[in-house]
Amino acid sequence: MLILNDLFVYSPEVARALQEGRPVVALESTIISHGMPYPQNIQTATEVEEVVSQQGAVPATIAIIGGKPCIGLTREQLEHIAKAGPAVRKVSRRDLPLVIAKGLDGATTVSATMLLAARSGINVFVTGGIGGVHRGGESTMDISADLTELARTPVAVICAGAKSVLDIPRTLEFLETHGVTVTAYQTDEFPAFFTRSSGCKAPCRSDSPLEVACMMHASQQFQLASGMVVAVPIPSEAEAEGQVVEMAIQRALQEAEQNRISGSAVTPFLLERIRALSEGKSLDANIKLIKNNARIGAHVAVVFSNLLS
């Protein structure tokens, strides 16, 4: 039985679900603060939570409020992160000690959300896209902490792959080296977030939530202690917008280089420029794919929890 400890603040719904062994789905908060503008961010965050609930799982949006990792946010907390936007610190694994020790607020990235999810007893996490090896990463060494977290934290991350702002082939190589299971959902190709195709073959394919849940179970039984990427391609009907977005991506990459953007500012800069250059089309596609991921991820969580009971 899971012991809920006072390192975390659990929402009552999440605490009850975890104690009763019911499925819980973690959701990140950087996507709310740095990934989308207000008010679309709060609206999407709320709708994603509803999608998870409709599938019979309990949503647990994770953020740090006043130095406390919160597992499941109140409406006020969600509103606070959404309104503050990039004024809230973007927190990856390395930032956790500072934010906690100083009692600050923080929006958690994939790496920090995975870590906090695992420590609080949650094994399924839904988001839009994961970070990866940035283009030119072979010399800048700009490789997202999301990838190393996937190597050492046993959480399944349901996402739409990695954006083509990243170096997708190198991202997949890095994940292989670090022993991360990567499966594409109902496709043979690793998806590129806005587009269903990246030109890279996925290491394996899963055709149902049960197949994913069985791999999670095998990973757990053999104590691999590493995470899993479940890459779900953007729904075809949202992909048309994706083509327009590809043009914006190319421009955004040039601008980032011209403006010498570096470090943790790179991804938020690119996301915002892609949104502006595509006149909001990237945002529409983003919202659609996240909801699709939430539906499938919640389904995986339900099936996985049935396997265990």
- Please choose which of Mn ion, ligand PSU, none residue 292 contacts, taking the beta carbon within 5 to 8 angstroms, the exact cut-off set by kind: none
163 is known as an active-site residue: yes
User: Given the complex with ligand PSU, which of 104 and 261 has the nearer CB atom?
Assistant: 261
The CA distance from 28 to 157, in Å, is 11
Between 22 and 80, whose beta carbon lies closer to ligand PSU?
Answer: 80
Only one of the segments 26-34, 65-73, 217-225, 229-237 lies at the binding site for ligand PSU (rule: CB under 6 A); that segment is 26-34
CA distances from 203 to 31, 179, 189, 211 (A): 27, 12, 8, 15
Complex with ligand PSU: residue 132 or 209, whichever CB lies closer: 132
> Which one of residues 72, 106, 131, 227 is an interface residue with ligand PSU (CB under 6 A)?
131
The enclosing H or E element of 303 equals helix 281-308
Question: Would you count residue 161 as binding ligand PSU (CB under 6 A)?
Answer: no
Helix (H, G, I), strand (E, B) or coil at 143: strand
Separation of CA 230 from chain center: 11
Site string for Mn ion, 136-165 (x = CB under 5 A): ------x-----------------------
CB of 12 to ligand PSU, least distance (A): 26
* 300, 306 Cβ separation under 8 angstroms: no
Q: Under the criterion CB under 6 A, does residue 213 sit at the interface with ligand PSU?
A: no
- CB within 8 Å of 202: residues ≥ 6 apart: 182, 183, 184, 187, 188, 189, 190, 231
* Residue 28 near ligand PSU by CB under 6 A: yes
Distances (CA, A) of 60 to 16, 40, 73: 12, 19, 7
Q: Does 95 bind Mn ion (CB under 5 A)?
A: no
Q: Could you give the CA distance from residue 27 to residue 114 in angstroms, rounded to a whole number?
A: 9
Contact residues for ligand PSU, defined by CB under 6 A? 28, 30-31, 34-35, 109-110, 128-129, 131, 144-146, 163, 193, 264, 266-267, 271
Contact residues for Mn ion, defined by CB under 5 A? 142
